[in-house]
Chain A
Amino acid sequence: MPSFYDVLQVAYDRCPPDCSACEGACVRERTSTEACSGITAIHLPEVGFHTAMRCNQCSDPACLALCPTGAITKSKDDGIVRINEVKCIGCGLCTLACPYGGVNYNFDKQKAFKCDLCDGEPMCIDPCPLGLLSLLKSRDVMRYLRAEDAFSQGVPNCLGCPVELSLRFTLKVLGHDTFMFASQGCSIFLMRGASLQAISKTPTTICLMTNVASTMTGVKRYYRHLGQDVKCVAFVGDGATVDIGFQPLSGAAERGENLIYICCDNEGYQATGNQRSGSTSLLARTATTPVGGAWRGKPQPPKYMPLLMAFHNIPYVATATIAYPEDFARKLTKAMAVKDGLSYLHVFSPCPTGWRARTEDTIDICRMAVETSYFPLWEAEHCRFRLTYQEDQPKPLVEFTKMMGRFSHLNEEGLEELQNLVSERFNLIEALTRMNGNEPQPGKTG
Chain B
Amino acid sequence: MATRRHLIIGAGSAALAAAREIRSVSPDDEIKLVTREDVPPYCVAVLPYLISGRIQESDLWLLEDDHMRELRFSLVRGKEVTTVNPHKKRITYDGGEHESYDTLLIASGSHPVKPDITGLDEVGFLPFHTLGDLRRLRGQLTGKTDIAVYGGGLVAIELVIALREAGYRVNLIVRSRILRRYFDPEAAGIMKDILASNGVRIYEGCTIEAVKENKTIVELALSNGTTLNTEVVAICLGVKPSISFLRDTGIEFSDGVLVDRGMRTNRADVYAAGDAAEAPDFFTGTPGLSPILPSAISQGKIAGRNMAGEEVAYEGWIPMNILHFFGQRAVSVGIMPNGDTRVLQAADEQGRGFKQLVFQGDRLVGASFVNVPVFPGVLHYLISNRVDIGPHAELLFEKPRETSCWLMLKSEKEEAMSLEE
Where the two chains meet, the residues of A that have a C-beta atom closer than 8 Å to any C-beta of B are 12-13, 42-44, 46-47, 49, 51, 53, 62, 65-66, 68-70, 86-87, 89-93, 95-101, 103, 105, 107, 110, 364
Contacts and interface: CB of A to CB of B under 8 A. Distances in A.
B46 A96 contact: no
Nearest to B399: A44
Contacts, number: 110
11 contacts: A12-B409, A42-B401, A44-B399, A66-B293, A68-B43, A70-B62, A100-B377, A100-B378, A100-B408, A101-B375, A101-B377
Interface in B40-80: 43, 45-46, 49, 54-55, 59-60, 62
B380 interface: yes
Residue among B43, B46, B376 with the highest chain A CB neighbour number at 10 A: B376
B293 A93 contact: yes
Given A65-B301, A69-B46, A107-B329, 7 more contacts: A12-B409, A46-B399, A70-B62, A92-B331, A96-B294, A96-B322, A100-B378
Contact of B46 (A44, A89, A101): A89
A70 B320 CA distance: 20
A12 B17 CA distance: 34
A46 B420 contact: no
Nearest to B404: A101
A12 B413 CA distance: 10
Contacts of B15: none
Contacts of B378: 98-101
B75 to A, nearest CB: 16
A101 B407 CA distance: 12
A420 B399 CA distance: 47
B290 interface: no
A107 B373 CA distance: 11
A284 B17 CA distance: 54
Contacts of B381: 99-100
A178 B400 CA distance: 57
Contact of B329 (A12, A44, A92, A100): A92
B-side binding surface: helix, strand, loop or mixed?
A: helix
A100 B382 CA distance: 11
B43 A95 contact: no
A90 B54 contact: yes
Contact of B409 (A46, A51, A93): A51
Nearest to A364: B420
A440 to B, nearest CB: 22
B43 A96 contact: no
A46 B395 contact: yes
B108 interface: no
Contacts of B49: 89, 91
A96 B297 CA distance: 13
Contacts of B60: 69
A90 B409 CA distance: 27
A69 B324 contact: no
8 closest residue pairs by CB, A with B: A68-B43, A99-B381, A101-B375, A98-B377, A44-B402, A68-B45, A89-B49, A96-B376
Contacts of B245: none
A13 B409 contact: yes
Contacts of B324: 90-92, 105, 110
A47 B301 CA distance: 38
Contact of B43 (A13, A69, A100, A105): A69
